[in-house]
Structures are given as structure tokens and as C-alpha cells.
Structure 1
Amino acid sequence: MNRLTDHLIVISFDCLSALDFPMLKELPHFSELLLNGAYCKNVESIYPSVTYPCHATIVTGNYPHRHGVVNNTYLQPGRLSPDWHWHRHHIKGTTLYDEAKKAGMRTGALLWPVTAKAEIDYNMPEIFANRPWHHQIPVSLFNGSIAYQLEMHRRFGSIRNGLNQPELDDFVLESAVHTIQAKKPHLLLVHFTDLDTQRHYHGFSSEQAMAALRRHDARLGRMVKALKEIGIYSQSTIVALGDHSALDHSVAIQPNNYFKEKGLITVDRRGKVTHWKAYCHSCDGSAYIYIRDKNDRDTKHFIQEWLQELLHDGRNGIEQVLTGDEAGARGADARCDFMLEARRGFYFKESLYGGFLHQITAEDVKAKRYTWGSHGYSPEKENYCTFFAAAGKGIIQQAIPSMRLIDEGPTFARLLGLHLGNTDGTVVEGLLAV
């Protein structure tokens, strides 16, 4: 299969929404991308629409139930900070970067989710120290390209302020610019989280979120400039995309607290979960409920009746209840016993304290116990689409009416002359100069 581009630069602006389009048209670098390439302001995300499943979908072209990353985090009942699906081995099947590597292309990834221990030439994976005895830099080094990461930290490490934003994205930007200039990768995947962070802690349309969009525009401009400065812009394709949108909320739904009260979850004096029959695993705007013993019909029947009662009163925040099979049919984890969708204004927490419903306060958010905005909701929610734009070699000027997140991977593969196999998504032929 013929390649349509020599260098594919994919930039994920986490939480970039279709609702941001009016502002993007007014920003200098995003507007240039829109003017010179193809774009879609109606991109359907996946279910659950959270970051790690979304990014695994982007590089595989498959829904979560096929690629295996069905949530950001592991099911670890009661743990205050569960482990995330950081590692490549969590993805079933091949990926865009695997196929590029097999074809002899130089590959790079900067804080791209689910790439720890991946076969990527220049890899700085998104992973954080999640044990008291861990330190961030060794954890990152051990799970990515050691020499490359050491060089990036030596050059630009002073920019970072732990995992805080916007400093983290500023560090990623300088690393990305240097990687473009020094390594000239054929495939580079870059993940920026500044906007997502601001929307979580300040709200969807907050000034902090708008400032992050302006910073993202400058970051896009810097990367385009780097391609031009080394003379490979005309041989390159640059993509700016979002993985999901977000919604504001003011109430947290906490089913595990109810399960604890009913004896389905047992905790010791320290608050540690010692036994559980049922557990709610949050995806923010949605949630899975797992029953530990699949033969425990009594517990399943009890929960099913309780959920039906909740549905009758909108004040409980539950918009929809799916069975495991129905969740699987939407691309989510079919192994769950139930999947819950929150109403607007609500999201799910795994807390074991504070009641079934918790009215969020400014103090809660300042202490980072709760947030003002989240994603994870069904892609069927109104005004909940994400965004895609591409320009450069292999791309025509075209407004695409609609597309799906699952279509991006196959389309990227086609640009690089690769194939991802039998995927849920298909190539968006309408934006390619074939």
C-alpha cells in the first residue's frame, strides 16, 4: 500500500470538544490548520469516553471491548489511588505504532496513554509513581526509552513542576519540538492534558479552560514551526484531535457507600476494603457495577431492583441502566453486571463515605477530592462530540460532516501505507488526497 505522507504528527489535546470550534476558528494556528486542511466538528467518541480507552481506540481503530482497555484504572476496590492501564500489554491486538515499527519507521510518543514498555523508538510514556516508595523519574525511565528520556529531562526538566499544569505540557512541548528537529520521526504521538485538567477543576467554560485553549494554540504553532524550520513540513501531515468532550456537574453519585451500608462491601477500622460482593467502578460520567461471584443471583437481583427504583426519581442522577450484554454492544466492558449512565449535572465516585449523593463544594475541589467537570458519559449525549483536524501531505481541504473516534486509527494507517487489520473503524476516504 502506497504511503500518502512521510511524517505523521498526531497531537491529542485531551478534552478538546466540538463546542470549542467557534474559538478554534479565531485562534491563529488552529484557524490556519482549518483553512488549509480537513476537519470534522462532529466526532463521536466511545463508551466510556475516558482518556485511556479513547487513546487505545485512536491507535487501534477498535472499541474498548475489543482492544481491552475498558476504563482508565484497574478494578481495585477501596484503593484511594488505583493503578491505571499504563502498559502496552493491556492493549489486545496491534497498534499504529507497532505497525509503523514493523515497517522500519522511526516512532515517537510523548505522554501518550497505554504506551509504557511499548516498542517505540523515542518513548516517554504517561505513567506516574503510584506507591509511597516510587519516584516519578525512575518510574518513567524504566517504562520508556531511557537514554531519550534522560536527554529530554536534562534539556527541559527545569520546566516541569511535578505533574502540575501548564508546566507539564510546556515540558512535553519542548520535548516534542526537539524530537521533531533531531529525530525526524515518521510517526509522532503527542498527548497534552492542560485543557482536561482545567475543565476538571474549574469547569468546562471557565476562564482557566479558555486560557488552556490559547496555550494549546501556541503549542500547535510551535510544532508546525519546527516542521518548517527543518524543511520537512511539505512532506508531513499534522493532526490535531480531541478524545472526548466534558460536562459540568455539581453532585457526585456514590453507590459504594450504599453497598457498604447493605453489607455488600466490608471495611476494617482503617477504612480498607476487606471483602466485597458488589462494587461500583467509576468512569466518571458512567460507571460499571461488578458482582464478584457471577453465581450470586441474590446480590444481582437485589442490585437490579434497587437500580430500577433509582431510575424512577431523576434526583438520584441515574439516567440509564444497562446490562453487561448491552454495555458490550456499545463497545464497553461486557463482563460488567450493570453499567450506569449519569444525568447531566452528576458523575460517579467510588467513595465509601459521605452518603449516596454528595453535593460538591469549592473546598472539595480545592482539596482535589471531587471535580467540577468530567467525561466518561455516553457518546449519545447531546452536544458531547469531540473534534478532528488534519492538514499537510495526503490531506485535502474538506469539511467532514461526521466521523467516529474508531475511524482515526485506520485513517492514520492509510496515510502511512499501513494496515491495522479487521477494525471496528474504517478509513475516512473523504479527507485523503488519494
Structure 2
Amino acid sequence: MASLCLLFSTLPVLAQQPKQAKYVVLISIDGLRPDFYLDPSWPTPNLQFLKNNGTYAEGVRGVFPTVTYPSHTTIITGAMPARHGIYYNTIFSDSGSTGTWYRDEKYIQTPTLWDAVHQAGMTSACLSWPVSVGAPIDYNVPESWERGTNINPNVAPAGLWEEIQQNATGKLSYNQMTLNNLAIDENLSRMAAYLLKKYKPNFTTVHIVCVDHAQHETGRSGEEVRKALASADHAVSNILEAVEAAGIADSTAIIVTGDHGFVDINTSFNPNVLLARNGLGGKDWKAMFHSSSGSAFLHLKNKGDVKTLAKVRAIMDSLPASVKRLYRIVEKAELDKIGADPHAAFAIAAIEGVSISGSANGELVRAGRGGTHGFFPEFAHIETGFIAYGAGISNGVVVPKMGLEDIAPVIAHLLGLPFTAPDGVLLPGIIKSQGRRENRPVVNGNINDTK
């Protein structure tokens, strides 16, 4: 297969082209790692078929932090978190870490592909994609379940949830839509299959979730990971079969990607314990680390409180070398360069094997287990994957490296959408017969320099 050599810092953007596919199906497998399709020993015959007959990446660089909600929003916008506004999975407010997830599309501060599809008069469908509640999607089953029930109050339009259960899945219980039951991936793929055959939406987004849960529980290589991966691959096959059954295979592009890789964990570091011991945490907190598992971001109650910031730095500087080796400091300038939360004073990025907890109780360092993500996107294990196949997609192209922000331009070009991905580029070779190229505009300077 031909290898695609790319110079990211000077890569141009394609001019608007006629659409090359009438339909695009975007499948995200949460926790997808490149080795899941590069290594034939994994139980992924469908992913490997798509990879062998299309274009794929050897690695996809994530955003910081490498967690689900910021990552999926970057995929759907082509923007980094600093620009699209979904900085973490959960919202950090003036009162501290809220535990409230960014579920509503209203939090996204940049245009999405859903917006562009809607404005172009095309149709869209969404199955459990993060941050999609209230989005301009024609058939929307967002990731928003009422705990302990089978009710998703944000399904739109009215009656769609009942229609799907009647025609695609049968009556669903709450247990069939939870992360610890592989049935959720099967059910989501059946929902997608039904919508593809019934309504033929131009743009379909599907979020497959159990591979992530299995790796959290057992790490990168547990037997539960193999089971979840086989289930995810079968979900992909359900969708591929639906595209065939709908009679749209020749005009459909399939894109499979993920949001982050995974790292095995043996140690947990708890920096809020340090702040609490020094009178900076608690109810009247002055400084707080907002955890994203493989990293944590320091927030000040008073953004201009340089005295507290200096105290935090002095406390961390005084830690023994055995603790300081567990992480590195990501300074404000580096956060700005990579497009992370602009409100954080600095961040700490764990080394491989270490997770960072948000707890302010217990020991500063303790044993860890399982696997996690959220790390700074600077090593291979935290990278995710990308496969493209079908209408408008080149066959036999290998992309050594790309970013999550570079996926939206591919979809926009395939569908002929007048959509600008602020931080992403259309990498040459992915699309068949790419045409005239224009230089990428520099927006907010250093965010684009991360290429």
C-alpha cells in the first residue's frame, strides 16, 4: 500500500468541491486504538476489511485532555477545545467541579457538521453522539438516558424512540442501554441500521461505547476487551449490511474513528489532597484541580489570584522527586498552543501508568488499576484510529499521522458542504481526485502550529 508522507505545518486546505458521496456514515468506537485494525490477531474482521480496501491512519493525535466529550466535539467541528468550548467531559464552574456532563449542543461555540448539513437542506441522524442534545438533527437519539429507566427524554422528533423500539430493537430495558452490557452496542447499531434503511439520512453519526468501558475495567489487553471489540465490530457489520440493504452502498462513505487510546494504570495521584492539606481546598476553596484521569487542570477561584497560584507552585515544587516523577507541568503557554481550556492556570499531565484523581481525601499517592485516558497527546498508546472506505475514498492510502480535527474536512468535502474546520485540514490523498488547493488560514496562530 502506498504510504502518504505529510508535512503538517504547511499542509493546504482544498477549495470547495462537488460532493463525492451522497451519504456519509461516521462511526466512533470509544477507546479505538490503531492496533485494533493494524494487528490481525484482534477480532475485527469488518474493521480490517474496511482498512484493507480503503484509507487508514497509523495513528490519530487526540486533543487535550484525551477524553470523550471534547474529542467527539472536535471530530464534529474540526475545532480544538479552546475554540469549541467543550473543555472536559464535565463542566467546571465558579463553584468547582460540578459533575454535570456537557450533554447539550448549545454549549458548542463553533459550527458543527450537523449545522452545515441542515443548512444545505440535507438530512442527518445521530445515535448516542456526545454533546448532541438539541442539535439540528432530523433523527436524534442523543447520549442522554434517565438513570434507572429506558427513557431518553431528548430523542427527536417526538415518537422516534417508540418507532425505533417497535421496528428495530424491541422494547428496551435500562440494563440494555448501560455501558456494562454489550447489548448497548448491538442496539445502537440496530437503531442506525433502521434509520439508514427507512430514512436514508445524508449524514449519520454513531457512537459505539463498550470498548471504552472494558478497557477502563481491565486495561488494554483483558479478555473483556476482546469481547467488547468483537461486539463493536459486529455493530459495524450491522451498519454495513444496512447500507447495502438500503441500496445506497455505491454512494456512501464509511468513516470509523475513535476519541482516544488507552493506558494501563498502576498508580493514582491525587493533587487535590495536597491543596486540601495546605488550606486551599474544601468548601471555601481557592484552587482546585479538575481531573480528566490522565491529567488535571488547575483552576483558581479568583482568576487573578497570583498569590494562590504561587503558593500552589511552591507546594508542588516541594514534593519529593518520587512524586514529581509521576507527572509533568503543562504551562499556560503550552495549553494555549495545543488548544486546551483557556481558563486553566496550568495543567499536570501524568506519565504512562499513572492516573490523576479529583479526590481531596485519602492518600496523595495510592495504587491504581485498570486502564484510563485523558493524557497529554504525546505518546502512541493514547492515539486513536481512522479508517475511511467507500464513495469518494482512495484505496491503498496510509496516513502516518493525523489529528481528530482533520476528520471534519474529509466529511465536508465528501458531502460538498461549504464548511470551514477552524483547526483542521483536508489531508491529501484521502479523497479521490482532490482538486485545487488553497493555503490554510492561520486562526489564533499557535493552535494550528500543533500540526
TM-score under structure 1 normalisation? 0.89
- CA contact 1:124–1:145 (8 Å) conserved in 2: no
Partner of 1:355: 363
Picking from 385, 391, 394, the partner of 2:392 is 394
Partner of 2:412: 413
Partner of 1:158: 172
Secondary structure of the equivalent of 2:197? helix
User: In 2 relative to 1, CA 145–287 (structure 1 residues): closer, same or farther, beyond 3 Å?
Assistant: farther
Deviations 1:221-276 (Å, cap 9, x if unpaired)? 1111111122111111111111110101122211112212221123xxxxxxx321
What does 1:235-254 correspond to in 2, within 5 Å?
235-254=251-270
Residues 1:28 and 2:45 are matched in the alignment: yes
Residues 1:340 and 2:348 are matched in the alignment: yes
What does 1:240-319 correspond to in 2, within 5 Å?
240-266=256-282, 274-310=283-319, 313-316=321-324, 318-319=326-327
Deviations 1:109-166 (Å, cap 9, x if unpaired)? 000011011110000111244xxxx76555x223643321232244424365142331
Partner of 1:430: 429
Report the AA paired with residue 396 of structure 1.
Answer: S
TM-aligned CA deviation for residue 383 of structure 1: 3.7
Segments of 4+ moved more than 4 angstroms? 76-81, 134-138
Report the Cα distance in structure 2 between the residues aligned to 1:181 and 1:125, rounded to whole angstroms.
Answer: 20
Report the Cα distance in structure 2 between the residues aligned to 1:9 and 1:282, rounded to whole angstroms.
Answer: 33
Report the AA paired with residue 386 of structure 2.
Answer: F
Partner of 2:329: 321
- CA contact 2:148–2:174 (8 Å) conserved in 1: no
Report the Cα distance in structure 2 between the residues aligned to 1:24 and 1:95, rounded to whole angstroms.
Answer: 37
Sequence identity (%): 29
Residues 1:67 and 2:63 are matched in the alignment: no
Report the AA paired with residue 353 of structure 1.
Answer: N
TM-aligned CA deviation for residue 350 of structure 1: 1.0
Report the AA paired with residue 157 of structure 2.
Answer: S
Report the AA paired with residue 291 of structure 1.
Answer: L
- CA contact 1:323–1:338 (8 Å) conserved in 2: yes
Report the AA paired with residue 172 of structure 1.
Answer: L
Report the Cα distance in structure 2 between the residues aligned to 1:309 and 1:411, rounded to whole angstroms.
Answer: 48
Report the Cα distance in structure 2 between the residues aligned to 1:219 and 1:373, rounded to whole angstroms.
Answer: 23
The number of equivalent residue pairs is 411
- CA contact 1:25–1:31 (8 Å) conserved in 2: no
Report the AA paired with residue 379 of structure 1.
Answer: P
Picking from 45, 50, 53, the partner of 2:70 is 53
TM-aligned CA deviation for residue 294 of structure 1: 2.2
Partner of 1:367: none
Residues 1:9 and 2:25 are matched in the alignment: yes
Moved more, 64-73 or 167-176: 167-176
Report the Cα distance in structure 1 between the residues aligned to 2:261 and 2:378, rounded to whole angstroms.
Answer: 12
Report the AA paired with residue 315 of structure 2.
Answer: W
Report the Cα distance in structure 1 between the residues aligned to 2:127 and 2:421, rounded to whole angstroms.
Answer: 27
Partner of 1:331: 339
Report the AA paired with residue 3 of structure 1.
Answer: K
- CA contact 2:276–2:360 (8 Å) conserved in 1: yes
Deviations 1:198-238 (Å, cap 9, x if unpaired)? 00011111111111111112111111111112211111111
Secondary structure of the equivalent of 1:231? coil
User: In 2 relative to 1, CA 195–67 (structure 1 residues): closer, same or farther, beyond 3 Å?
Assistant: same
Partner of 1:146: 158
Kindly report the root-mean-square deviation, in angstroms, between the aligned alpha carbons of the 2 structures.
Answer: 2.1
Partner of 1:378: 376
Secondary structure of the equivalent of 1:74? strand
User: In 2 relative to 1, CA 424–79 (structure 1 residues): closer, same or farther, beyond 3 Å?
Assistant: closer
Q: Provide structure 2 residue ranges, at least 5 long, that are not aligned to the other structure.
A: 1-16, 434-451
Secondary structure of the equivalent of 1:218? helix
Secondary structure of the equivalent of 2:234? helix
- CA contact 2:43–2:226 (8 Å) conserved in 1: no
Report the Cα distance in structure 1 between the residues aligned to 2:134 and 2:43, rounded to whole angstroms.
Answer: 39
Deviations 1:334-359 (Å, cap 9, x if unpaired)? 21011000011111111121121122
Report the AA paired with residue 279 of structure 1.
Answer: M
Secondary structure of the equivalent of 2:100? coil
Report the Cα distance in structure 2 between the residues aligned to 1:240 and 1:421, rounded to whole angstroms.
Answer: 21
Partner of 1:173: 189
